[in-house]
């Protein structure tokens, strides 16, 4: 049994105060990831700080025409909010591709960004894992690595980030609002998650005494030409082998802007500004999208069991971009591969 203190934060300042000077403290929101990890002895917080009653549950218009989404907005509340459905359908689609209805009712925006990898060795305390215990070794590199990273991995860790929401937020250029002892700051979602390097135990660039207060969506939601495609072993209740969030702006059949983020392939949502730039001015064709996929995957590296993911990702990228170009986005409600 893990012995821990339990506190309920009165407000954001109180949550920061309770975190400060307690490196073993953890915030708890919906609890759908943290409680599982505590039951498996993977997480052993000395102090649990309940933030679930903080007033961070609103979705508000920003002055520039975007939206500010509170960190405690439930995943289901966000996906079914009319403003999100109409203006940011890519985000709604990505959320509905994840977990189950019950989990989405409990899971929060902040918790979704902070959820930990699903590498089986990370959950198995009988095996070495650098993410669980720094410098203990990585069991996946020479073990079962079918689900693991093909991009951005290191010799210390080849785990992937499991979040669907983060992949859509990366494609939408979302911002993360953070509060800590020295005040508030904002970080691009694409800078929020880290590559593993030598310190895979640190998933994000959030400091230990900071709290996510909101996610900000910029005004452009790309509601006409978007698609989120998630390829997984089962069509529900499974994490992505590969997922693709794609948005396009078209002038006729010519691409004026393209953004593509990959999930299930790296320690963070994967984008390449250079590859996206090269699509500008091109016609929206299979040929150009195939070239783009090659460029996005040029650094991809296979391990013993996950080589199939490179070709899977290549095909998924082309399919998702074609769906976005023809305004026929992937349906998450009907769970069909279009
Ligand atoms: C069976 C199962 C299937 C799932 N399938 C999917 C899937 O297909 N796709 C997918 O994307 N997800 C999936 N999930 C994961 C689910 O989305 C996450 O568990 C959930 O989003 C976490 O949110 P939470 O509020 O419950 O977080 P919690 O469990 O409360 O917290 C998780 C982490 O976030 C930290 N945290 C929480 N809020 C904040 C904050 N405001 N600021 C800073 N840190 C914070 C906590 O300290 C903790 O470290 C699945 C989960 C389960 C159990
Ligand atoms: S891939 Fe990462 S999470 Fe998995 S065993 Fe290796 S170090 Fe641990």
Task: Give a yes or no: residue 278 inside a domain.
Answer: yes
Ligand 2 neighbour 140 (Cβ under 6 A) = yes
DSSP assigned state of 144: -
Enumerate residue ranges in the chain where pLDDT < 70.
1, 334-338
Ligand 1 mean position, distance from CA 91 (Å) = 16
Distance, CA of 148 to CA of 223 (rounded, Å)? 31
- Domain count across the chain: 2
> Is the separation of the CB atoms in 73 and 52 below 8 Å?
no
Ligand 2 neighbour 158 (Cβ under 6 A) = yes
Task: Give a yes or no: residue 282 inside a domain.
Answer: yes
Ligand of minimum distance to the alpha carbon of 138: 2
**Among 118, 123, 131, which residue has the most ligand 2 atoms within 8 Å of its CB, making it the best to mutate?**
131
- The half-sphere exposure of 301 on its side-chain side, counting CA atoms within 13 A, is 10
Ligand 2 mean position, distance from CA 212 (Å) = 25
**Among 145, 155, 159, 197, which residue has the most ligand 2 atoms within 8 Å of its CB, making it the best to mutate?**
159
> Is the separation of the CB atoms in 136 and 129 below 8 Å?
yes
Task: Give a yes or no: residue 311 inside a domain.
Answer: yes
Q: What pLDDT, on a 0 to 100 scale, did the predictor assign at position 40?
A: 96
Ligand 2 mean position, distance from CA 118 (Å) = 9
Number of other residues whose CB lies within 10 A of the CB of residue 227: 26
Q: What pLDDT, on a 0 to 100 scale, did the predictor assign at position 321?
A: 98
> Is the separation of the CB atoms in 325 and 225 below 8 Å?
yes
Task: Give a yes or no: residue 18 inside a domain.
Answer: yes
- The half-sphere exposure of 201 on its side-chain side, counting CA atoms within 13 A, is 12
Task: Give a yes or no: residue 294 inside a domain.
Answer: yes
| Chain-centroid distance, C-alpha 335 | 20
19 to 22, 23, 211: CA distances (angstroms): 6, 7, 9
Ligand of minimum distance to the alpha carbon of 72: 1
For residue 32, the enclosing domain spans 5-50
Task: Give a yes or no: residue 285 inside a domain.
Answer: yes
Q: What pLDDT, on a 0 to 100 scale, did the predictor assign at position 334?
A: 65
163 to 95, 169, 263, 274, 337: CA distances (angstroms): 9, 10, 8, 24, 20
Atom of ligand 1 nearest to the CA of 32: 26
- Which residues make Cβ contacts (< 8 Å) with residue 220, sequence separation at least 6? 172
Q: What pLDDT, on a 0 to 100 scale, did the predictor assign at position 335?
A: 61
Report the CATH number that the domain containing residue 16 is assigned in CATH: 3.30.43.10
Ligand 2 neighbour 159 (Cβ under 6 A) = yes
pTM for the structure as a whole: 0.98
**Among 123, 151, 157, 304, which residue has the most ligand 2 atoms within 8 Å of its CB, making it the best to mutate?**
157
Task: Give a yes or no: residue 37 inside a domain.
Answer: yes
Structure tokens at 252: 């006729």
Ligand 2 mean position, distance from CA 124 (Å) = 10
- Please name which of 101, 105, 79, 73 lies closest in space to residue 92, comparing C-alpha atoms: 79
Burial letters for 66-97: b for 16+ Cβ neighbours within 10 Å, e otherwise? bbbbbbbbbbbbbbebeebeebbbbbbbbbbb
Report the CATH number that the domain containing residue 264 is assigned in CATH: 3.30.390.50
Structure tokens at 271: 């984008």
Task: Give a yes or no: residue 60 inside a domain.
Answer: no
Distance, CA of 62 to CA of 52 (rounded, Å)? 24
Ligand 1 mean position, distance from CA 28 (Å) = 9
Distance, CA of 236 to CA of 214 (rounded, Å)? 28
């Amino acid at each position: 049994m893990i012995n821990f203190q339990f506190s309920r934060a009165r407000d954001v300042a109180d949550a920061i105060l309770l975190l400060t000077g307690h490196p073993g403290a953890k915030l708890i929101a919906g609890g759908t990831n943290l409680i599982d990890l505590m039951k498996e002895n993977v997480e052993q917080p000395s102090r649990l700080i309940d933030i679930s009653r903080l007033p961070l549950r609103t979705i508000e218009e920003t002055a520039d025409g975007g939206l500010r989404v509170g960190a405690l907005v439930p995943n289901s509340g966000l996906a079914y909010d009319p403003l999100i459905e109409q203006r940011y359908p890519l985000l709604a689609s990505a959320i509905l591709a994840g977990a189950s209805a019950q989990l989405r009712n409990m899971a929060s925006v902040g918790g979704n960004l902070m959820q930990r990898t699903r590498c089986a060795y990370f959950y198995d305390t009988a095996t070495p894992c650098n993410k669980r215990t720094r410098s203990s070794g990585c069991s996946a590199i020479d073990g079962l690595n079918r689900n693991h990273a093909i991009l951005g991995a290191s010799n210390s860790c080849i785990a992937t980030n499991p979040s669907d929401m983060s992949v859509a937020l990366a494609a939408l250029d979302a911002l993360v609002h953070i509060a800590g002892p020295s005040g508030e700051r904002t970080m691009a979602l694409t800078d929020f998650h880290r590559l593993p390097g030598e310190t895979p135990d640190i998933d994000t660039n959030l400091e230990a005494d900071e709290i996510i207060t909101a996610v900000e969506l910029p005004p452009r939601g790309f509601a006409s030409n978007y698609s989120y495609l998630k390829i997984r072993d089962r069509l529900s209740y499974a994490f992505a082998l590969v997922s693709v969030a794609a948005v396009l702006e078209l002038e006729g059949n010519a691409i004026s802007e393209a953004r593509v983020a990959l999930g299930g392939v790296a320690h963070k949502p994967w984008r390449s500004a250079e590859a996206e730039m090269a699509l500008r001015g091109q016609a929206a064709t299979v040929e150009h999208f195939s070239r783009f996929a090659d460029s996005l995957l040029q650094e991809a590296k296979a391990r013993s069991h996950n080589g199939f993911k490179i070709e899977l990702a290549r095909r998924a990228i082309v399919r998702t971009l074609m769906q976005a170009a023809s305004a026929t986005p992937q349906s998450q409600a009907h769970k069909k591969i279009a």
